[in-house]
Amino acid sequence: MQPKRANSNILNSEIYRTIFETCTDGMVILENSTIVDANAAALNLFQMTSVAEITNRTLFDVSSPVQQNDCTAEAHFLSLLESHEETESPSANWQFLATTGTVFTRHLSINAISQKDNLWLVKLSKPLKSPQESIDKAMFFENIARISPWLIYVYDQTTDRNVFSNRSFGEMLGYSNDELQHIDNFLMEHTHPDDLAKIVTAGEKLNSSEPGHFIELEYRMRHKSGNWRWFCSRQTIFMRDGSGKLRMTLGIVEDITQQHQQLTQIRESERRFRLLADATPALVWMADTEGQRYHYNNQWLNYTGRTLSEELADGWKSEIAPDDLQMYLKRYQLAIVEQVPFALEYRLRRADGSYRWMMERGEPIFTDGQQFIGFIGVCMDVTKRISAEQELQHQKDFIQQVIDLNPSLIYVKDISGNFVMVNQTVAQLFD
Q: Tell me which CATH homologous superfamily contains domain 146-255.
A: PAS domain (3.30.450.20)
Q: Are 286 and 293 in contact (CB under 8 A)?
A: yes
Residue 45's nearest CA partner among 33, 67, 28 is 28
Give the chain's mean pLDDT.
82
Instruction: State mean pLDDT over 269-296.
Output: 85
Helices (H) and strands (E) in the chain, counts: 16, 17
Q: Are 362 and 332 in contact (CB under 8 A)?
A: yes
Indicate yes or no: pTM above 0.75. Answer: no
Give the pLDDT confidence of 21-38 residue by residue, as tens digits: 888 889 999 888 899 999
What is the pLDDT, as a whole number, of residue 131?
A: 59
For residue 379, is pLDDT > 90?
A: yes
Local structure of 360: helix, strand or coil:
strand
Range(s) within the chain of domains with CATH label 3.30.450.20: 8-128, 146-255, 268-381
Residues 6+ apart with CB under 8 A from 318: none
Local structure of 351: helix, strand or coil:
coil
Going by pLDDT thresholds of 50, 70 and 90, the confidence category of residue 134 is low
Gap between the Cα atoms of 272 and 55, Å rounded? 82
In this structure, which CATH number among 3.30.450.20, 3.40.50.2000, 3.30.43.10, 1.10.520.10 belongs to the domain 268-381?
A: 3.30.450.20
Q: Are 121 and 110 in contact (CB under 8 A)?
A: yes
Residue 367: Cβ-neighbour burial (10 angstroms; 0-12, 13-18, 19+): exposed
Given 3-state DSSP classes, what are the helix, strand and coil percentages for the chain, each rounded to the nearest 5? 40, 30, 30
* Residue 329 vs residue 214, higher pLDDT: 329
What is the pLDDT, as a whole number, of residue 250?
A: 87
Residue 427's nearest CA partner among 406, 417, 414, 416 is 406
Angle at the Cα of 47 from the Cα atoms of 45 and 53, rounded to 5 degrees: 105
Give the pLDDT confidence of 229-265 residue by residue, as tens digits: 999 999 988 877 767 788 888 889 999 998 888 888 7
What is the pLDDT, as a whole number, of residue 314?
A: 87
Distance, C-alpha 13 to centroid of its chain: 56
For residue 4, is pLDDT > 50?
A: no
What is the pLDDT, as a whole number, of residue 234?
A: 92
Q: Which H/E stretch holds residue 275?
A: helix 257-279
Span of 56-65, 266-275, 316-325, 337-346 with lowest mean pLDDT = 266-275
Local structure of 408: helix, strand or coil:
coil
Span of 38-47, 188-197, 202-211 with lowest mean pLDDT = 202-211
For residue 1, is pLDDT > 60?
A: no
Instruction: State mean pLDDT over 120-143.
Output: 71
Instruction: State mean pLDDT over 185-203.
Output: 87
For domain 8-128, give the fold.
Beta-Lactamase (3.30.450)
What is the pLDDT, as a whole number, of residue 6?
A: 40
Residues 6+ apart with CB under 8 A from 310: none
What is the pLDDT, as a whole number, of residue 136?
A: 62
Instruction: State mean pLDDT over 125-154.
Output: 72
